[in-house]
Structure 1
Amino acid sequence: MAVEFESVVTVSAAKQIAESLRAAIMDGRLKVDERLPTEEELAQRFKVSRPTVREALKRLAAQHLIRSRRGPAGGNFVSSPAPEEAAQSLANAATLMVAVGDISLDAMATARLELEVVCCRLAASNRTDEHLDAMRRELQAQRNAALTDEEFCASDIRFHRAMVDASGNTLLQFLMHAVVEALQPVSNMIIFRVRDRQAIVGFHERILHSVESRDAETGAAALADLVAYTRDRYREALERRADRTG
């Protein structure tokens, strides 16, 4: 491998080595499935100890940028992107930012509406029978009054995920994973006592029918009504909480 790396200072050397290797991966100097130099070779190139290199490699492994393989042909190799893991990391970050108040639920709801409307328009054109079947299964499950709140929430997420998947756009699917997975559990946790499940089912029925009949405008209207309903219930839940603590 002919990739050249700059020397680093001793302080935070592991972090700097990890960042240098990460940059080489991100800009294509290190290719997917390419074997990295050995720990000894990296230690010599960066002029640090092997434990420092080992720590840098651990950082890259934690970011799913490299993977290790044992045996005679083993070593550390550049990993191919794992969309599910990356999307979940994005969702976790978004959930944390909502939890600490860096992102408001209202801002998340607005983002969800705008992105999901685009997905709905694409789904109306690109959906398959498999996508429709997945949405129907979740809608049928949501009509079951015996579902716990947690089960209803999980089905709610799966319904919207199926609609987003029907868009056929991988970038939107990636982005919406964070919005749906982060927003809905948090908002459902707040509004589950004041929401009407049948109202949610009604919105979902309208969305499914619009995708099934390839009527994107009706779907966009149903999504707008769903987000407006969720916002109203969120405000109602906060008002009730304020009354109890006031």
Structure 2
Amino acid sequence: MTSETPESDDELARHERAVSRLTVPEERLPTAPVKRVRKAYEQVYDQLRDLIMRGELSRGERLPNEAVLAREFGVSRGTVREALRVLAAQNLIRTAKGAGGGSFVTLPTVDHISSFLHANISLLSESEDVTLQEFLEARELLEVFAARQCAVRRTPGDLERMRDTIIEDPAKLGTEEHFVYNKEFHSAVLDGCGNTLLCIAAQPVFSVLQTNLARDAMSQRFAKRINEDHRAILAAIEDGDAEAAAEQMQRHLAYLSRTYQKMWRQSTGVDGD
């Protein structure tokens, strides 16, 4: 039996070192985040949503029926049906039955989003997770800015809409009617500011405050003061005086805040502080 020579030992050592450089220890293996594989209906939803948001499927356009969509996407009709359900829940499509029925592209509107936010913000107020003070602070931030912008951006139509909410004789109207005029005035100011996102944010806050007020507590004196405040705000907006409009709105909301504290407690039984 022939013994190994020193040269062969050197070659073996070099070989082992070379192999060790090529082998990465398990603890040194790079890690990659595990990506969740999206379900089939989610992938169909993603593609349809993308087509809608890019405008390739326009508002009012009728989608192909479930069988056609299933064939196009290579999935079952049940998968397509689930994707359409999610799109409908997000108000991206509406589904109608009957001979002229089907799924039609709708796209969400400002009113739809505001209503959705209103419902959820109302839940927060009822669960006492949002206080009256937080509502009032948010309203001041949004509506004072809106009044300032409205004075700059308002259109003749906006001014006419605001004028229509001013009451000649507040004593002739009942409480419910006063609240309708009040809501319409503030809505007109918000719309007149020309900022859609601000309208979406402000309308639910205003609506929750209105809904939670004890409406039977409104006095004629209170109604008259609100109407006078609206006149002052409108006058500043008509003059195009942004700072005066903001100042009048801030003064109006400060007056309302003191009354809201009492009315909120009567309506909810919750301390406004």
TM range (shorter): 0.7 to 0.9
For 1:144, the aligned partner's letter is P
Q: Secondary structure at the match of 1:196?
A: helix
- How much has 1:76 moved relative to structure 2? 3.3
Q: Is 233-242 or 192-201 further displaced after alignment? A: 233-242
For 1:130, the aligned partner's letter is G
- How much has 1:138 moved relative to structure 2? 1.0
Counterpart of 1:3 in structure 2 is none
Q: State the Cα RMSD in Å.
A: 3.6
> Is residue 170 from structure 1 mapped to residue 196 from structure 2 by the alignment?
yes
Query: Aligned equivalents of 1:19 and 1:190: distance in 2?
Result: 48
Return the match for 1:88 from 98, 115, 126. Answer: 115
Query: Percent identity, aligned pairs only?
Result: 31
Counterpart of 1:106 in structure 2 is 133
Query: Aligned equivalents of 1:191 and 1:21: distance in 2?
Result: 53
Change (3 A) 1:25 1:177: farther
Query: Aligned equivalents of 1:94 and 1:18: distance in 2?
Result: 31
Counterpart of 1:200 in structure 2 is 226
Q: Is 217-226 or 90-99 further displaced after alignment? A: 90-99
**2:62, 2:105 within 8 Å by CA — same for their partners in 1?**
yes
For 1:166, the aligned partner's letter is G
Q: Secondary structure at the match of 1:67?
A: strand
Superposition TM-score, scaled by structure 2 size: 0.67
> Is residue 97 from structure 1 mapped to residue 128 from structure 2 by the alignment?
no
- How much has 1:155 moved relative to structure 2? 0.7
Change (3 A) 1:101 1:111: same
Counterpart of 2:184 in structure 1 is 158
Return the match for 2:175 from 143, 149, 161. Answer: 149
- How much has 1:65 moved relative to structure 2? 0.7
Return the match for 1:8 from 31, 35, 39. Answer: 39
- How much has 1:28 moved relative to structure 2? 4.2
Query: Aligned equivalents of 2:208 and 2:261: distance in 1?
Result: 19
Superposition TM-score, scaled by structure 1 size: 0.73
Change (3 A) 1:7 1:97: closer
- How much has 1:223 moved relative to structure 2? 1.8
Once the two structures are superposed, what CA deviation does each residue of 1:174-222 show, in whole Å capped at 9, x if it has no partner?
Answer: 3332233333332464863697112212221211111112222222222
| 1:1-246 paired onto structure 2 within 5 Å | 8=39, 16=42, 20=46, 24=50, 28=54, 31-33=57-59, 38-40=65-67, 45=73, 50-51=77-78, 53-68=80-95, 75-140=102-167, 143-187=169-213, 189=215, 192=218, 196-237=222-263
Gaps of 5+ in 1: 1-5
Once the two structures are superposed, what CA deviation does each residue of 1:110-152 show, in whole Å capped at 9, x if it has no partner?
Answer: 11111111111111112233322222221126x3313221111
Q: Secondary structure at the match of 2:159?
A: helix
Query: Aligned equivalents of 1:190 and 1:146: distance in 2?
Result: 16
Gaps of 5+ in 2: 1-36
Change (3 A) 1:109 1:61: same
Query: Aligned equivalents of 1:18 and 1:105: distance in 2?
Result: 43
Query: Aligned equivalents of 1:176 and 1:213: distance in 2?
Result: 24
Q: Is 68-77 or 211-220 further displaced after alignment? A: 68-77
- How much has 1:43 moved relative to structure 2? 5.0
For 1:8, the aligned partner's letter is K
**2:232, 2:248 within 8 Å by CA — same for their partners in 1?**
yes
Query: Aligned equivalents of 1:240 and 1:7: distance in 2?
Result: 50
